[in-house]
A and B are shown apart, each in its own frame.
Chain A
Amino acid sequence: MKYTNLPHTDLKVSKICLGTMTWGNQNTEAEGHAQMDLAFEKGVNFFDTAELYPVPATAETQGRTSEIVGTWLKKTGNRDKLVIASKIAGPGDQTDYIDLYQLHWPERHTNMFGVRDYTHDVNDAWQDNFNEILHANLNNIIFQE
């Protein structure tokens, strides 16, 4: 594995980050645990998750992925060897902290998800709420498209 620093921090993260969004729908808890075992064994120390996972996001399933990460952390005791990025919430009640806290996409309509070009909707109200976040001086925020 190769590593780099999470920018502006002394946290060392693997250049491969383990995505988690299938666990709890396409994958079972046991399969998610097996994936974390394998990735950890291969030197991956960086996991990315989100409150709304697994995908597709539904009210019934949201949070399952975080629970699966949480039960693996509890079982293995590996929390302090990992850098965990989440979006809005973390792995249930089973980890005490999130290393990288990410803002899971701004509420706006732009040419993403395969859409080419931009068509402006004059009725789409613009609420610029980023300044408040930046002025609150929170670090480790990312903007996801």
Chain B
Amino acid sequence: MITIQNAYSLLNRVFEGDAAEISIREKMGLLAYSPMAFGVLSGKYVKGTAADNARLKLFPRFARYSSEQSTEATRQYLKLAEDNNMTLAQMSLAFVTQRPYITSNIIGATSLEQLEENIDSININISDSLLEQINTVHANIPNPAP
């Protein structure tokens, strides 16, 4: 086994238990999927800007990231991103890409604009101080979407 593909995002850091350790020690890289939690971590649902063809409007049964706790955590991460002059999408993706057990971060998009923003997150750096602030939100609302 050389890779493991699990969901991993600001709303679901369950991988960071024993799996993260064994991933690093055995060099079994994480291919993170749903790093934006089905688009929830674009902030468009909490901002009310989601278009009618947004996934969670088309397929509301995909409720993994739609709990009250996920919504509240998303609001707090959105504020952090704005305070740090980046989009929530980019902060969310850069956070995932920069974790040490990540081999690759599986991004997706339905428009070219989203895709470009998501790919360009490779140029965003999550500073130690931003990481600390992210971890504070995480400590208050840990893994709202396991």
Contacts and interface: CB of A to CB of B under 8 A. Distances in A.
A111 B106 CA distance: 22
A46 B115 CA distance: 14
Contact of B119 (A4, A34, A44, A115): A44
Contact of A114 (B67, B109, B122): B67
Contact of A142 (B3, B63, B118): B3
A140 B2 contact: yes
Contacts, number: 123
B58 interface: yes
Interface in A83-130: 85, 100, 102, 111-116
- Give the interface SS of chain B, mostly helix, strand, loop or mixed: mixed
Size range of the chain B interface in the assembly: 35 or more
A18 interface: yes
A21 B109 CA distance: 9
Contacts of B120: 42
Given A7-B27, A16-B122, A56-B59, A142 B104 contact: no
A66 interface: no
Interface of A: 1-2, 4, 6-9, 13-22, 26-27, 31, 34-35, 38-39, 42, 44, 46, 48, 55-56, 85, 100, 102, 111-116, 134, 139-145
Interface of B: 1-7, 27-29, 31, 33, 53, 55, 58-59, 61-65, 67, 97, 102-110, 112, 115-116, 118-122, 145-146
